[in-house]
Amino acid sequence: MLRRLYDWTLSLASKPSAPYALAAVSFAESSFFPVPPDVMLVPMMLARPDRAWFYALVCTIASVLGGVLGYAIGVAFYDTIGVQVFEFYGLTQGVEAFRHGYAEYGHWVILLKGLTPIPYKLVTITSGLAGYSLSWFILLSALTRGARFFLVALLMSRFGPRIKGIIDNNFNLVATFAVIIIIGGFAAFRYLF
């Protein structure tokens, strides 16, 4: 199943709708969707290394805009939508500790969590819930998400053919490693907060 998704994403990169699909996934991941945009971003960059920097920009802008939606969920809808997202991840108990940590460490939380596999939507919703400054939230989100996606673009533009060969020849191992990283991100969030 994952191999078909990988092959489909590689073929999607040649279509004019590719940036829109990538933007939609990146936007949704920052506010409510559980799958990180890297699942589409990496294969698309491998298929079209000439567009890696453009794809990183699309992901960054869409992720920040999706983060604003997540922030709005935290501000206005935490008691309904936001709590359901946190319940889905089994994290309702850690929200209050996370929320109180924003008083002193909000900027570090946004910067560090935006670079990690910890689900960014949890940071965006909690930022709104905690009443963190929206302008600082947007600026820090742009910095951290941009750093993450442009680092992927740098790696793909420099080592893309080698990385593609490794993925193609060891797909099951790479897919297993990616799933472990995603699950590890969820576990780290639960453990830390």
Q: Is residue 97 part of a domain?
A: yes
Q: Is residue 102 part of a domain?
A: yes
Q: Is residue 69 part of a domain?
A: yes
Is 189 a residue whose pLDDT tops 70?
no
Confidence of residue 110 (pLDDT cuts 50, 70, 90): confident
Which DSSP string corresponds to 107-122? HHHHHHHTTSSS-HHH
Which domain, by its residues, includes 134? 2-9+19-192
Q: Is residue 47 part of a domain?
A: yes
Convert the pLDDT of each residue in 33-88 to its tens digit.
877 888 888 888 988 888 999 999 999 999 999 999 999 988 888 777 777 777 77
Convert the pLDDT of each residue in 120-130 to its tens digit.
888 898 889 88
Q: Is residue 108 part of a domain?
A: yes
Q: Is residue 14 part of a domain?
A: no
Total number of domains in the chain:
1
Q: Is residue 81 part of a domain?
A: yes
Q: What are the Cα distances from residue 179, in Å, to 94, 109, 147, 175?
A: 23, 23, 22, 6
Q: Is residue 185 part of a domain?
A: yes
**All residues at 6 or more sequence positions from 64 whose CB lies less than 8 Å from its CB, including other chains:** 30, 138, 141, 142, 145
Is 192 a residue whose pLDDT tops 80?
no
